[in-house]
Structure 1
Amino acid sequence: MMAAEYFTYTGGDVTRIRIHESLTVIPRRAFYGRRNIEEVICDADVETIELWAFAFCTSLRRVIMPGVKVVSDGAFCGCEALTDVQCSELEIIGLMAFRHCKSLTSINLPSAKIIGGTVFKYCTALTDVKFGNKLERIERCAFIGCRSLRRITLPLKDSMITDDNIFTGCANLEHVDLAGGIHETVAALQLEEWKNDLNEEIDSINQILPTARAGGDLYNDVGEKAIVIRTWIRAVLRKIIHYKAQHHRLLADAATTLEFVSLPKDIVIENVLPFLELPSYTFEVEGWEGEGEM
């Protein structure tokens, strides 16, 4: 029994497990189907949870994995009681990793980069998901059947929504928040009309998304939610790029004016212009080489 590597058995049913600091990997199927486990706490040195390691641990309620970077395919699939997942360093989540976690209501994934296919499929109690600026890709059917999902936080990345079926069946998905400091950036724009226009574009998703069809069948009716979000991201990015260019033109004009009134150029560059620059906001857009900073 592989689970003996991770705890000292003293008789009776084991309900709480602490993964020792000497381990960096929890092997595949290590605790598969152990129905009595309620809590798992990983040492910060544990970095990888392999395939199906905790799948169908139907009493598992809490998982603390502060150093884990990779959760492999099916790792927590079928953990129907799971409600608390703490994973601040998690970067890659494999196929079906949290599929059928029917009690999970929210999850915060600030370091996530890759969200595999069907990761949260049929997590029917899930209402709120937060991603950070590191998110690169959400793959097919990731949230299919999450009928309670209402709110999701995403970065502005054009290539992130990879498939039209990502939010199929998410009938209650009505609100998208943007990760990062874009609102600070908008507030720093020089003209009020620019701020208003960009804020209206950002806020428009929350008027459009509630009316977009969720779809019902994976193959025949994937719905419009993912399409609407992808289209909105591109529209916001276009306006950001446009106003960034306008802002830089104003900066150039300001620099010329200051030099004209005999302010030394080095003073202008080092002490004046930085106060007019926009706060940094990293984004990606199709056709844009690399990352731009606004």
Structure 2
Amino acid sequence: NDAPALEKADIGVAMGMRGTQVAREAADIVLQDDDLGTIVVAIEIGRTTFTNIRKFVVYLMSCNVSEVLVVASGAVLAGPQPLLPLQILFLNFVTDVFPALALGTCEGSRNLMLEPPRDPQEPLLTRRHWTTIFVFGVLIAVVVLGTMQLAVSWLDASQERATTIAFLTLAFAQLWHVFSMRDRTSGWALNEISRNRWIWGALVLCSVLLLAAVFVHPLARVLTLVDPSAGGWALALGASLLPFALGQLWHAVARSWKTIRRSTSRARSSGI
């Protein structure tokens, strides 16, 4: 008698030990231990996995958007290219990959199970996620292009040195960007990202690889990178923090505005 109901349900659950053979065949999930508490654990794991996939995709796409905008700006403005092809490949295969993979190991925010069920028709990336990709992509690209101009005007850098500074700014901005992938209900400092040791390991590894790209001469020659000088390092590291800081400010303003709109809507509905 349970089979029709199990087939009609979004997710049919049957008992593995006490359930009938017909019910087990009709169900989507079979509880091998007949413990309903297992469903809660499974939901938490499923939500965490889905959230991590979203973080992975949003992070990679926003990094790629920033790279496309930086390269496209050089072509449109008919000026020197801020990034060279091999430098872009280095970023894509080295500094982008490890932080993105580390995002897949996050445990999930502490408020994950307090959120309402997600609409089954909801896409992997909602409008909010596409907005995040675009905003951070633009922020990183603008900062990289601005840093390159400052390197030429303030530091009197050559074309190779200015390109190196732009390369480092983009690379470190993308590394900082991983902390922007925290859940919107998580704390600013202590969250599922900052508590993940794999994230920190990926950041250290990428930083070492970036240093090698600049100071290991055979690799530096292949990538057309030079010593950016102390001033260049300071400029690149300082500027790379700007997209992260501005992005956090944007998130805070967006959350505040959403809270105000929700409060106003409730006040109107209650006749206040």
**Which TM-score tier does this pair reach, normalised by the shorter chain?**
under 0.3
Q: Normalized against structure 2, the TM-score is what?
A: 0.28
Q: Which has the higher helix share?
A: 2
Higher RCO (CA < 8 A, seq sep 6+): 2
Q: Which has the higher strand share?
A: 1
